[in-house]
Amino acid sequence: MKTKLVCIGAMLAAFAFPAAAQKKYDPGASDTEIKIGNTNPYSGPASAYGTIGKTIDAYFRMVNDQGGINGRKLTFISYDDGYSPPRTVEMARKLVEQDQVLFLFQTLGTPSNTAIHKYMNLRKVPQLHVATGATKWNDPKNFPWTMGWQPNYQTEAQIYARHILKTRPDAKIAVLYQNDDYGKDYLKGLKDGLGDKARSMIVAEASYEVSDPTVDSQIVQLQSSGANVFFNITTPKFAAQAIRKAYDIGWKPVHYLNNVSISVGSVLTPAGLDKSAGVISTAYYKDPTDAHWANDPAMKQWQAFMKKYYPEGSLINAFSVYGYTVAATLHEVLRMCGDNLTRENVMRQAASMKGWRVDTLLPGITITTSQDDFAPIQSVQLQRFNGKQWELFGEVISGN
Amino acid sequence: MTLDAVILQVLAGLATGGIYASLALALVMIYHATHLVNFAQGEMAMFTTYIAWSLINAGMPYWPAFLLTVGIAFILGMFIERIVIRPVENAPVLGVVVVFIGLLVILNSVAGWIYTYTIKSFPSPFPRQPILGIHYISAHELGAIGVTLAVLALLYGFFRFTPLGLAMRAAAQNPESSRLVGIRVGWMLALGWGLAAAVGAVAGMMVAPVVYLDPNMMSGILLYAFAAALLGGIDSPGGAVLGGFAVGVLENLLGAFVIGNELKLAVALVLIVGVLLVKPSGLFGRVYVTRV
C-alpha cells in the first residue's frame, strides 16, 4: 500500500515538476491572475487625461471576458494621484508594497513619473510604457526598469524643426512653452533640430505656469516679436486659449501645435474650429474624428469596444484611442511572456518587440524595441487641421 | 519695448483684470456679511456656472438661463450658510477656514464627478467680432467689464439706499446691537451668503468664455482675486474692482518687461504679503480701531 502511494506521488511529481519549472512568478502573478498597477489623474488640473486610465481598465475587462492572457485574468488597480507627484509616490509604494502588483503600467505625467523613477528602479519593479513623452524614459543603461511608449517630445520637436527648415528657411520663430520638464524638453528638441540656425531663427520665447488663468499676455508678447512661425507647446486648456487669442488679435503665423493637444473634442472645438484652421501637428495613431477612418476595420472594432466596455466615454475622444492602443501593446507583451511572469521577463519581452503593430496606429508606424532601445514608437506623420478635421500629409517620418 | 507693446499689454491686462475684479467682488461680499474670507468662493462660482451650462445646453436662451442661474446661486448660497456654516458659527476662525476648504474640495470633486474634467466652451452673450475694430480686447472682455461695473453699481445702491442693505451692514458690523433693534442677524448672514453666491455666479459666467469651463477654472484666478480684494481693501466693493484691474495690468507689465513670465504668480503673492504688512486695510478699505 505504502509503495503504491509513493509510486503515485512520484508520478504526480514527475508531472508537476516540469510544469513548475516552466512557470515562474514574481509577486503579482499566479496561475490565475496578473496584477497591474497604475496611477492616473482622475481629479485635479490634468484630469482630462483620466480618460486614458478608464479606457485601459475597459480594455482589460474585455480581455478578461475573452478568457484573459494565457489563461490568466488581469487585475488592474488604478489610483487617482490628482497629477500631484507626492501622491504618485504614495500610490506607487502602495501598489508595490501593499497591493503587490507585478509591475506599474502607463503611470501618467512627466512630473509624476519623475517622482517614482528612482524608487521603481531601486525596487526593480517595471515602470512600463509610461504615459509621457519625456525623452528621459529611454535610458536603459541607468534605468533598466523604466520604459516609455509614445514618440518622445524631443523627437517630435526635431521633426517640426526639419519641416520649418525645409519649408520656411526665412522663419522667425516664436515659442510658447509650459515652464516645466515637458515644455523644456520640446524646446530643446526644437533647438537641436534647428542646429546652428536656432539662435537666429528663434526670435521670442515665452513661458507660462499651469496656475496662470490665461496665456493672453504671452501671446501678445510673442506677436510683438514679429514672428511668422509659432511653436505652441501647451497642454489642452492653454492650447485652446492660445489658438483663440492668436486668431482674435489677428496674428497669423504658421502654427505648429504639439501632439499633446491635438484632440479635436477637447482643444480645437473649444478654441473654435475656424480659428484652428491651418494648425500643423503630428500623429501616430488614428484620430476618431477623421472621416478618412470612418470605415477602417480597426476603428470600427475600437468603436464596438467603446460601446460595450466604456459606454460613458466619448467616441470622438482621441485619448480613448491612445488608451486602447497602449493597452493592446501591453497585451502583446504579456502574451509574449507566456508562463514566465517575472518582473525581469516582463522587461525583457517589452524590449523584444520587432516591428509589431496594432491597427489603431497609423499605417507605416510600428513598435520596435531592443535591450538598448527603450523607445517603442519613434515615427510620426505630419498633419494639418483643415477647419473640420486633421489631414495627414507627407510621409511617415522617423525621428532618428 | 515699444510703446505699442506696452499699450497692448495694458489692454490684455485690463481684460484679465476684469476677471479678477468680478471674483474679488464676490469675496468682498462674503467678507461684508461675515468678516471671513471664503476660500470656496471660486468653486461656488464654478459650480453655478456649470448649472448655467446645463440650462443653456438643455435649450434655454442665454439671458433667461443667466437670470435663473443667479437665482439658483442665491438660494444655493443661503442653503450652504444654513446647513454648513451655521453649525460652526461660534467655532474659532481656523475651524471655519477648514470648513471653507472642505467646501472647496467637495464642490470641485462633485463638479468633476458630474460634468467630467474635460474643458467645455461656454457661450458669450456678446458679439463675436471685436467692437470698434480693437483687436486686443474682445467684445466679450469689454462686455464682462461692463457687467462687473453694473454689478458693482447695483451692490452700491443696495447697501447704500435700501433698508435691507443697511440692516445687513449693521448685522455684520455689530451683531449684538443689531439684534437689540430687531434685525434678524442669522437671516442677514444667510442673505449675505446668497448675495455673494449670486455675484460669484455672474463672475463665473463672465469668466468661463475666456478661460473655458472646467472644475479647476477658478483655482488660478482665486489667488489673483485675493490679491485684488486685499489691494483694494477687503471690505470695499469699489476697491476690489479697482484692485482687480490694477493686479491684471501690473502682472502683465511686470511679466512682459521686467521680471519675466516665470515670476508672474509671485507678483500676486508679493502684493498679498506687501499689503498685509504695510497697509492691511488696503487702498480703499476702512480702518477699524478696536478698544481693548
- Measure Cα distances from A100 to A73, A92, A345, A347 in Å: 16, 10, 17, 17
A158 and A146 housed in the same domain:
no
Residues of chain A in contact with residue B212, where contact means CB-CB under 8 angstroms, are 237, 240-241, 270
In the structure grid, which three cell numbers stand for residue A374, read together? 527603450
pLDDT of residue A17: 47
pLDDT of residue A5: 52
Question: Where residue B126 sits, what CATH number does that domain have?
Answer: 1.10.3470
Taking CA atoms, what residue in A is nearest to B116?
Answer: A48
Residue B16: closest CA among B148, B129, B105: B148
- CB within 8 Å of A129: residues ≥ 6 apart: A105, A106, A147, A148, A149, A326, A329, A330, A350, A376
**Contact between chains at A218 and B261 (C-beta distance less than 8 A):** yes
A176 and A164 housed in the same domain:
yes
Taking residues A45-71, report their average pLDDT: 92
- Chains A and B: how many Cβ contacts under 8 Å? 100
- pLDDT grade, residue A244 (50/70/90)? very high
Q: Whole-angstrom Cα distance, residue B130 to residue B124?
A: 13
| Domain limits for position A83 | 25-151+295-378
pLDDT of residue A311: 95
**Contact between chains at B262 and A207 (C-beta distance less than 8 A):** yes
In the structure grid, which three cell numbers stand for residue B133, read together? 475694430
The residue type at B52:
A
A168 and A129 housed in the same domain:
no
Cβ-nearest to B121 among A216, A248, A269: A269
Q: Has residue A385 been placed in a domain?
A: no
A104 and A165 housed in the same domain:
no
Q: Whole-angstrom Cα distance, residue A351 to residue A331?
A: 14
Classify B40 as helix, strand or coil.
coil
Q: How many domains does chain B have?
A: 1
Q: Has residue A4 been placed in a domain?
A: no
* A252-303 tens-digit pLDDT: 999 999 998 988 888 898 899 999 999 999 999 998 888 889 899 999 999 9
A161 and A267 housed in the same domain:
yes
- Residue the block writes with cell 510620426: A380
What is the β-pairing status of strands A202-208 and A254-257? unpaired
A143 and A190 housed in the same domain:
no
Q: What does pTM read for this prediction?
A: 0.83
In the structure grid, which three cell numbers stand for residue A278, read together? 491651418
Question: Where residue A81 sits, what CATH number does that domain have?
Answer: 3.40.50.2300
Q: Has residue B285 been placed in a domain?
A: no
Residue B151: closest CA among B196, B104, B193, B92: B196
Chain B CB within 8 Å of residue A198 CB? no
A316 and A205 housed in the same domain:
no
* A336-363 tens-digit pLDDT: 999 999 999 999 999 999 999 999 999 9
**Contact between chains at B215 and A211 (C-beta distance less than 8 A):** no
Q: Has residue A60 been placed in a domain?
A: yes
Taking CA atoms, what residue in A is nearest to B109?
Answer: A43
pLDDT of residue A19: 46
A370 and A258 housed in the same domain:
no
| Domain limits for position B40 | 3-278
Q: Has residue B284 been placed in a domain?
A: no
pLDDT of residue A400: 59
Sheet with strand A229-233: strands edge to edge: A202-208, A173-178, A229-233, A254-257, A280-283, A379-385, A390-398
Would the CA dihedral through A306, A309, A313, A319 be positive or negative?
A: negative
Q: Has residue B286 been placed in a domain?
A: no
Q: Has residue B287 been placed in a domain?
A: no
Cβ-nearest to B216 among A45, A241, A270: A45
A111 and A180 housed in the same domain:
no
pLDDT of residue B279: 83
Residues of chain B in contact with residue A237, where contact means CB-CB under 8 angstroms, are 119, 211-212, 214
Taking residues A305-331, report their average pLDDT: 94
pLDDT of residue B94: 86
More confident position, A158 or B285: A158
In the structure grid, which three cell numbers stand for residue A104, read together? 506599474
Instruction: State yes or no: pLDDT of A127 exceeds 80.
Output: yes
Residue B237: closest CA among B75, B31, B18: B31
Q: Has residue A374 been placed in a domain?
A: yes
pLDDT of residue A18: 46
- pLDDT grade, residue A213 (50/70/90)? confident
Q: What is the DSSP-derived secondary structure letter of residue A397?
A: E
> ipTM value of the model?
0.85
Query: E strands within B126-251?
Result: none
Q: Has residue A8 been placed in a domain?
A: no
Taking residues A326-344, report their average pLDDT: 96
Q: How many domains does chain A have?
A: 2
Q: Has residue A49 been placed in a domain?
A: yes
Say how many residues make up chain A.
400
The residue type at A185:
D
Q: Has residue B186 been placed in a domain?
A: yes
**Contact between chains at B220 and A249 (C-beta distance less than 8 A):** no
Q: Has residue B268 been placed in a domain?
A: yes
Neighbour tally for A335: CB within 10 Å: 11
Chain A CB within 8 Å of residue B134 CB? no
A168 and A279 housed in the same domain:
yes
pLDDT of residue A286: 93
Last residue in a domain, options A283, A315, A335:
A283
Taking CA atoms, what residue in A is nearest to B138?
Answer: A248
Cβ-nearest to A240 among B116, B212, B251: B212
Mutate to test the interface with A, among B119, B120, B122, B262 (most CBs of A within 10 A): B119
pLDDT of residue B1: 57
pLDDT of residue B117: 78
A301 and A255 housed in the same domain:
no
A72 and A133 housed in the same domain:
yes
Taking CA atoms, what residue in B is nearest to A223?
Answer: B5
Q: Which residues of chain B fall below pLDDT 50?
A: none
Share of chain A above pLDDT 70, in %: 94
Q: Has residue A193 been placed in a domain?
A: yes
In the structure grid, which three cell numbers stand for residue B227, read together? 490679491
Residue A309: closest CA among A49, A2, A63: A63
Contact A292, A283 (CB under 8 A): no
**Contact between chains at B219 and A45 (C-beta distance less than 8 A):** yes
The residue type at B108:
N
Contact A230, A258 (CB under 8 A): no
The alpha carbon torsion through B254, B256, B262, B268 (nearest 10 deg) reads 30
* B127-159 tens-digit pLDDT: 877 666 666 778 888 888 899 899 999 988 988
- Residue the block writes with cell 497591474: A36
**Contact between chains at A220 and B9 (C-beta distance less than 8 A):** yes
Q: Has residue B29 been placed in a domain?
A: yes
Partner A, chain B 213-242, Cβ-Cβ below 8 Å: 214-216, 219-221, 223-224
Mutate to test the interface with B, among A175, A178, A220 (most CBs of B within 10 A): A220
Mean pLDDT of chain A: 91
Q: Whole-angstrom Cα distance, residue B14 to residue B7?
A: 11
Q: Has residue B207 been placed in a domain?
A: yes
Cβ-nearest to B117 among A48, A240, A248: A48
Neighbour tally for B161: CB within 10 Å: 9
pLDDT of residue B141: 85
Q: Has residue A6 been placed in a domain?
A: no
- Measure Cα distances from A93 to A35, A115, A130, A176, B73 in Å: 15, 11, 16, 36, 42
Taking residues A169-178, report their average pLDDT: 95
DSSP string across B109-159: HHHHHHH-SS-B----SS-SSPGGG--SS-HHHHHHHHHHHHHHHHHHHHH
- Measure Cα distances from A330 to A63, A300, A302, A379 in Å: 11, 21, 16, 19
Residues of chain B in contact with residue A217, where contact means CB-CB under 8 angstroms, are 9, 12-13, 16, 251-252, 255-256, 261, 264
